[in-house]
Structure 1
């Protein structure tokens, strides 16, 4: 995306425009894992919705593999979107949730179920396909959602704080699961998180956003840490700690700005 600005009507200000994002430029290379961090409410999810084709920017442009993307033309069909909240259908079993996208595309049921069983195996849910989402733990539901997204073989993964609701241990397991699956075919990933440690542990690059309103990227940091990674072990290394200090130095004032604005508001 290039020079993207997103404005919305602000009902609290009698219809005045609220600028959520201003003149933001962000590029993700093929096969690159990029995380975006910033203060709460700074517009991270707005940028993700622009990348998904769910929202047209007020100004600027978005290209996907060289082709222009506009929400008016439909969603970004090269991307899979994993939400913060589960997007599972509670009346469908695990396997039926996983294969729903394939069935909507017209894939024969037998073929779809064969692929679904393979993806359940790949995310560690072999034998759980007949369970409903309410019969699964939070971590199992996240694995199911991951299989549901990846079975469609998207070229881009858009992930909006997908593990934020999990406990620390389950979260780290899911982060490693994601890295293992990503390493197999290296999709492009745009990962939104409020957790700087998570961003560094997972990513090739970490992009820092300013406090809102009118958020924009203010830092772009290369994560030069070896792969494959264990997200728990990598956090203990001197290189990780040094990078964390560097990025937090760029973030700290923006986080304080956002906190002060929330107190006043």
Structure 2
């Protein structure tokens, strides 16, 4: 019997109350079915406003869909997805806590004894290259260091599913590539299920087992699902120079390009 998928989104729709005209409503996503297998790394790409983050919030249990079913390892998801860790695009570190204190926080909230929480947090800071910076506060760390601390903060809880919302988008290209390789190394060690949201097609291909393409909104839906058959382990800078990477990029961009243009025109229309 096949193992249950880590995440199953089945015919999901999310509709929100709109602004302006009374009763106006906006459907962000509709007829979305998406599966992430246990240990699988899946990225979702699409134009701005296509509901990528909405789907991530549904998988996290932070948002109940207007229609459809969400399952986590075969069981219906009700409320927060406690088997998932969420790494946000925005800064998630508490400014009044040190790097060590931030990484310890989730363990403390779970009732882990202080000495054990400290030991686990220190071990994870070493794994992400911050072993000597546990006493630093967020304002004393670079952007890359804060992202490393956020990664440790998420992974120290040992989630079965990792949800990531454009976590490296604010970093410079060199730091971003270092963080992407760090993520791949940590993921390879335990092979957790990952649902990764990004605007960057290069990043999606370099990291993933599969790339799902969303249409432009409103009522965005998946319009492409591509298997990434690049060998692992990967270096994200080197893999981008291989012929197979270029072939995959061309194939996915062929589907994505028109949707990006549609999304851009919609943005222009709203700005006018």
Distance 1:13 1:75 in 2: 32
Post-superposition Cα deviations, 1:95-152, rounded to whole Å, max 9, x if no partner, equal 0100100001111101110111100100000110011011000000000000000000
Name the SS for the 1:207 alignment partner: strand
2:143 matched to which residue of 1? 138
Q: Does 1:216 align with 2:221?
A: yes
Name the SS for the 1:26 alignment partner: strand
Which one of the candidate residues 182, 189, 194 is aligned to 1:184?
189
Distance 1:68 1:13 in 2: 36
Distance 1:11 1:87 in 2: 28
2:101 matched to which residue of 1? 96
Report how many aligned residue pairs link the two structures. 262
2:55 matched to which residue of 1? 47
Which one of the candidate residues 21, 30, 46 is aligned to 2:29?
21
Distance 1:261 1:81 in 2: 29
1:18-97 matched pairs, under 5 angstroms: 18-70=26-78, 74-97=79-102
1:151-190 matched pairs, under 5 angstroms: 151-190=156-195
Name the SS for the 2:35 alignment partner: coil
Distance 2:106 2:95 in 1: 15
How far off is 1:209 after superposition?
A: 0.1
Moved over 4 A (4+): none
| Structure 1 residue ranges without an equivalent (≥5) | none
How far off is 1:264 after superposition?
A: 1.3
Distance 1:106 1:262 in 2: 46
Distance 2:177 2:12 in 1: 33
Which one of the candidate residues 231, 242, 245 is aligned to 1:226?
231
How far off is 1:14 after superposition?
A: 2.1
| Structure 2 residue ranges without an equivalent (≥5) | 1-8
TM-score w.r.t. structure 2 length?
0.95
How far off is 1:13 after superposition?
A: 3.1
TM-score w.r.t. structure 1 length?
0.98
Distance 2:23 2:150 in 1: 38
